[in-house]
Amino acid sequence: MAQHFLLSAKARTLSIRAIYKAGEEKAYEQFRSIRWASTNGQAVCPRCGCVDTYEITTRRRFKCAACHHQFSVTSGTIFHSRKMGFTDLLAAIALFVNAVKGMSALQMSRDLDCQYKTAFVLCHKLREAMANETAGFTLDGEVEIDGAYFGGSIKPQNRKEDRIDRRLKEHQTGTRRVVIGLRQRAGRTLTFVRNFEHEGVQIARDLVASASTVFADEATHWDVLEAFFPTERINHSEAYSEGHGKHTNWVESFFSRLRRMVAGQHHGVSPKYLAAYASNAAWCEDHRRRDNGCNAVALVGNAMLSPVSRSWCGYWQK
């Protein structure tokens, strides 16, 4: 019997031990080579694009010969104004991609021996970098669509006579949201957080090519899709899949990962941040067959290409 990829040595190409053994200078050079890959690590001014720069070695900064702007390897990126060392940053990224069902900020703070606030912001910056990877993507071919609701649950009272019907609208918390997932088979997963699942129809019309085949369940609001796409429907009360690929198992696999992330690792997610966690789960699901070293390098690249985070830069000072 063939060994599963994730159990093989090929899936383990980066370890925390190797990162710290290599040291700070090696981690810095890796960030530098990824940031300026097109110039083989030669610094490029983020303000004017000039490649004529010189290094201030005592401060790990660069100065542009044209506009005299001083910058570092993380200037203008999602790690702008970072205070962590490059070894700790690389270790945090390795831990984050290894946690295929999510990494809590509390666990990250313990592993890196940093404040909870530092770990919280860092994790969300990495989730933002993951989400930026699919910004502007469209889907084609065979695309599955579905929705799953999260949050809004009310803890039942202890005594039976004090309990309420939690299904009624007047007893809802207002924090229940639906994550709408569109997944291209052998492709990428796009996620959106909305109030109602039927809003996914317009999302599909905007992001799915007209000649694509859309797979959905028997929920009545998906009936509208049949006017715009070749559509296959599966009745989950009768079967989860039928012959000739009629199923929504790929997008359901994503939802399974997200549910385990929210319930098992984070123990509940605010609707304010649900989109970030959904992007995190989609990224992990899409790259589950790639070794952890490649995932770490890819995430560093996403972070280096992502602009300064307007949501998380100076978060605790807002």
Q: What is the DSSP string of 212-267?
A: PEEEEES-GGGGGGGGTS-EEEE-TTT-SEETTTEE-HHHHHHHHHHHHIIIIIIS
* pLDDT given at position 1: 62
Q: Determine which of 73-77, 149-153, 279-283, 288-292 has the lowest per-residue pLDDT on average.
A: 149-153
Is the pLDDT at 292 greater than 70, yes or no? yes
pTM score, whole prediction: 0.93
Question: Tokens standing for 230?
Answer: 């070749």
Q: What are the tens digits of pLDDT across the range 23-41?
A: 999 999 999 999 999 999 9
- The CA-CA-CA angle for residues 114, 117, 120, to 5°, reads 95
Decide if 204 contacts 214 (C-beta within 8 A): yes
pLDDT tens per residue across span 152-199: 888 889 999 999 988 888 888 889 999 999 999 999 999 999 999 999
Kindly tell me if the per-residue pLDDT of 231 is higher than 70. yes
